[in-house]
Amino acid sequence: MTSTRWNPRSLPDQSGKTFVVTGANAGLGYFTSEQLAGAGAHVVLACRNPAKADAAAAAIRSRVPGASVSALQLDVADLESVREASETVRAMPRLDGLVLNAGIVHPPQDREVSLDGNELVFATNFLGHFALTAGCLPTLRRTPGSRVVSLGSMISRLMDSSLDDLQLATTYGGWKA
Protein backbone atom coordinates (compact mmCIF):
# COMPACT_ATOMS: atom_id res chain seq x y z
CA MET A 1 0.00 0.00 0.00
CA THR A 2 1.45 3.33 -1.03
CA SER A 3 0.96 6.43 1.04
CA THR A 4 0.54 9.78 -0.66
CA ARG A 5 1.00 12.88 1.43
CA TRP A 6 -1.29 15.77 0.72
CA ASN A 7 0.52 18.95 -0.23
CA PRO A 8 -1.52 22.17 -0.45
CA ARG A 9 1.10 23.66 -2.75
CA SER A 10 0.50 21.00 -5.40
CA LEU A 11 -3.26 20.94 -5.77
CA PRO A 12 -4.83 19.39 -8.87
CA ASP A 13 -5.61 21.83 -11.67
CA GLN A 14 -8.66 23.92 -10.77
CA SER A 15 -8.87 25.90 -14.02
CA GLY A 16 -12.44 26.78 -14.95
CA LYS A 17 -13.67 26.29 -11.40
CA THR A 18 -15.03 28.93 -9.06
CA PHE A 19 -14.78 28.99 -5.27
CA VAL A 20 -16.23 31.40 -2.71
CA VAL A 21 -14.26 31.66 0.53
CA THR A 22 -15.71 33.54 3.50
CA GLY A 23 -13.32 35.44 5.73
CA ALA A 24 -10.74 35.26 2.93
CA ASN A 25 -8.76 38.36 3.90
CA ALA A 26 -6.65 36.67 6.61
CA GLY A 27 -5.61 33.38 8.18
CA LEU A 28 -6.92 30.09 6.81
CA GLY A 29 -9.32 31.88 4.46
CA TYR A 30 -6.50 33.83 2.85
CA PHE A 31 -4.24 30.77 2.61
CA THR A 32 -7.04 28.67 1.09
CA SER A 33 -7.81 31.41 -1.43
CA GLU A 34 -4.17 31.82 -2.44
CA GLN A 35 -3.71 28.07 -2.93
CA LEU A 36 -6.90 27.74 -5.00
CA ALA A 37 -5.88 30.72 -7.15
CA GLY A 38 -2.45 29.14 -7.58
CA ALA A 39 -4.15 26.00 -8.88
CA GLY A 40 -5.99 28.05 -11.52
CA ALA A 41 -9.40 28.58 -9.89
CA HIS A 42 -11.32 31.83 -9.86
CA VAL A 43 -11.64 32.73 -6.17
CA VAL A 44 -14.25 35.08 -4.74
CA LEU A 45 -13.03 36.60 -1.48
CA ALA A 46 -16.21 37.04 0.58
CA CYS A 47 -15.24 39.49 3.32
CA ARG A 48 -16.91 41.94 5.67
CA ASN A 49 -14.38 44.73 5.11
CA PRO A 50 -13.99 45.76 1.43
CA ALA A 51 -10.60 47.42 1.99
CA LYS A 52 -9.19 44.26 3.59
CA ALA A 53 -10.69 42.14 0.81
CA ASP A 54 -9.08 44.35 -1.82
CA ALA A 55 -5.73 44.16 0.01
CA ALA A 56 -5.97 40.36 0.15
CA ALA A 57 -6.84 40.20 -3.56
CA ALA A 58 -3.84 42.42 -4.38
CA ALA A 59 -1.58 40.23 -2.22
CA ILE A 60 -2.78 37.08 -3.99
CA ARG A 61 -2.25 38.68 -7.40
CA SER A 62 1.29 39.69 -6.41
CA ARG A 63 2.11 36.17 -5.18
CA VAL A 64 0.27 34.22 -7.89
CA PRO A 65 0.92 35.52 -11.42
CA GLY A 66 -2.29 35.53 -13.44
CA ALA A 67 -4.49 34.86 -10.40
CA SER A 68 -8.22 35.28 -10.96
CA VAL A 69 -9.71 36.77 -7.81
CA SER A 70 -12.58 39.07 -7.02
CA ALA A 71 -14.13 40.42 -3.85
CA LEU A 72 -17.67 40.15 -2.55
CA GLN A 73 -18.83 42.13 0.47
CA LEU A 74 -20.28 39.76 3.05
CA ASP A 75 -20.88 40.12 6.77
CA VAL A 76 -22.10 36.71 7.92
CA ALA A 77 -23.46 38.26 11.13
CA ASP A 78 -25.88 40.41 9.08
CA LEU A 79 -28.61 38.37 7.37
CA GLU A 80 -29.35 41.20 4.89
CA SER A 81 -25.68 41.12 3.81
CA VAL A 82 -25.93 37.32 3.51
CA ARG A 83 -29.07 37.67 1.35
CA GLU A 84 -27.36 40.18 -0.95
CA ALA A 85 -24.23 38.04 -1.28
CA SER A 86 -26.36 34.95 -1.96
CA GLU A 87 -28.13 36.79 -4.78
CA THR A 88 -24.75 37.61 -6.33
CA VAL A 89 -23.62 33.99 -6.07
CA ARG A 90 -26.90 32.68 -7.50
CA ALA A 91 -26.25 34.83 -10.59
CA MET A 92 -22.86 33.15 -11.13
CA PRO A 93 -22.74 30.46 -13.83
CA ARG A 94 -21.12 27.95 -11.44
CA LEU A 95 -19.93 27.43 -7.89
CA ASP A 96 -17.58 24.50 -7.44
CA GLY A 97 -16.88 25.13 -3.79
CA LEU A 98 -18.18 27.21 -0.91
CA VAL A 99 -15.63 27.44 1.91
CA LEU A 100 -17.27 28.56 5.16
CA ASN A 101 -14.33 30.01 7.05
CA ALA A 102 -15.32 33.39 8.54
CA GLY A 103 -15.85 33.44 12.25
CA ILE A 104 -15.22 35.02 15.59
CA VAL A 105 -12.19 33.40 17.18
CA HIS A 106 -12.01 35.61 20.28
CA PRO A 107 -15.56 36.21 21.52
CA PRO A 108 -16.52 39.39 23.36
CA GLN A 109 -16.30 39.29 27.15
CA ASP A 110 -19.94 40.35 27.44
CA ARG A 111 -22.83 39.05 25.35
CA GLU A 112 -23.43 41.06 22.17
CA VAL A 113 -26.08 40.67 19.51
CA SER A 114 -26.02 40.97 15.74
CA LEU A 115 -28.10 43.48 13.76
CA ASP A 116 -30.76 40.77 13.57
CA GLY A 117 -30.82 40.30 17.35
CA ASN A 118 -28.97 36.98 17.50
CA GLU A 119 -26.08 36.32 19.87
CA LEU A 120 -23.07 37.60 17.89
CA VAL A 121 -20.83 34.51 17.91
CA PHE A 122 -23.77 32.21 17.06
CA ALA A 123 -24.86 34.59 14.28
CA THR A 124 -21.34 34.83 12.84
CA ASN A 125 -20.06 31.30 13.20
CA PHE A 126 -23.26 29.41 12.44
CA LEU A 127 -26.45 31.21 11.41
CA GLY A 128 -24.90 33.37 8.68
CA HIS A 129 -23.09 30.44 7.10
CA PHE A 130 -26.23 28.31 7.23
CA ALA A 131 -28.21 31.07 5.48
CA LEU A 132 -25.41 31.61 2.94
CA THR A 133 -25.29 27.92 2.08
CA ALA A 134 -29.08 27.81 1.67
CA GLY A 135 -28.95 30.91 -0.53
CA CYS A 136 -26.20 29.44 -2.72
CA LEU A 137 -27.81 26.01 -3.16
CA PRO A 138 -29.24 26.70 -6.63
CA THR A 139 -25.75 27.49 -7.97
CA LEU A 140 -24.15 24.60 -6.08
CA ARG A 141 -26.79 22.18 -7.41
CA ARG A 142 -26.24 23.17 -11.03
CA THR A 143 -22.47 22.72 -10.70
CA PRO A 144 -21.46 19.05 -11.04
CA GLY A 145 -19.29 17.87 -8.17
CA SER A 146 -19.70 21.04 -6.10
CA ARG A 147 -18.77 20.99 -2.43
CA VAL A 148 -19.38 22.92 0.79
CA VAL A 149 -16.51 22.92 3.28
CA SER A 150 -17.20 24.21 6.77
CA LEU A 151 -14.26 25.04 9.01
CA GLY A 152 -14.46 25.14 12.77
CA SER A 153 -12.38 25.51 15.85
CA MET A 154 -11.13 22.82 18.20
CA ILE A 155 -13.26 24.44 20.89
CA SER A 156 -16.29 22.74 19.31
CA ARG A 157 -14.82 19.42 20.47
CA LEU A 158 -14.00 20.70 23.93
CA MET A 159 -17.28 22.39 24.84
CA ASP A 160 -20.85 21.16 24.60
CA SER A 161 -23.43 23.39 22.95
CA SER A 162 -26.19 24.52 25.24
CA LEU A 163 -29.13 23.36 23.11
CA ASP A 164 -31.66 24.77 25.56
CA ASP A 165 -30.04 28.25 25.33
CA LEU A 166 -28.54 28.58 21.82
CA GLN A 167 -28.69 32.37 22.05
CA LEU A 168 -26.83 32.23 25.40
CA ALA A 169 -29.36 34.66 26.81
CA THR A 170 -28.92 33.34 30.36
CA THR A 171 -25.65 31.38 30.21
CA TYR A 172 -23.28 33.63 28.22
CA GLY A 173 -19.56 33.19 28.65
CA GLY A 174 -16.78 33.87 26.13
CA TRP A 175 -15.60 30.25 26.01
CA LYS A 176 -19.14 28.95 25.82
CA ALA A 177 -19.96 31.34 22.97
- pLDDT tens sequence for the chain (177 residues): 555 677 777 889 999 999 999 999 999 999 999 999 999 999 999 999 999 999 999 999 999 999 999 999 999 999 999 999 999 999 999 999 999 999 887 777 887 888 988 888 888 888 999 999 999 999 999 999 999 999 876 555 555 666 665 656 566 566 555
pLDDT of residue 54: 98
Give CA separation, 121 vs 33, 85, 126, in Å: 24, 20, 8
pLDDT of residue 175: 59
Give 91-126 as a DSSP string.
Answer: TSS--SEEEE----SS--SS--B-TTSSBHHHIIII
Domain chopping of the chain, boundaries: 12-158
| Contact status, residue 73 vs residue 25, Cβ threshold 8 Å | no
| Contact status, residue 73 vs residue 81, Cβ threshold 8 Å | yes
pLDDT of residue 156: 58
pLDDT of residue 57: 98
What class does CATH assign to 12-158?
alpha beta
Question: How many CB atoms lie under 10 A from the CB of residue 41?
Answer: 23
For β-strands 68-73 and 97-100, DSSP reports them as: unpaired
| Contact status, residue 132 vs residue 100, Cβ threshold 8 Å | yes
Q: Smallest Cα–Cα separation from 63: which of 71, 51, 55, 52?
A: 55
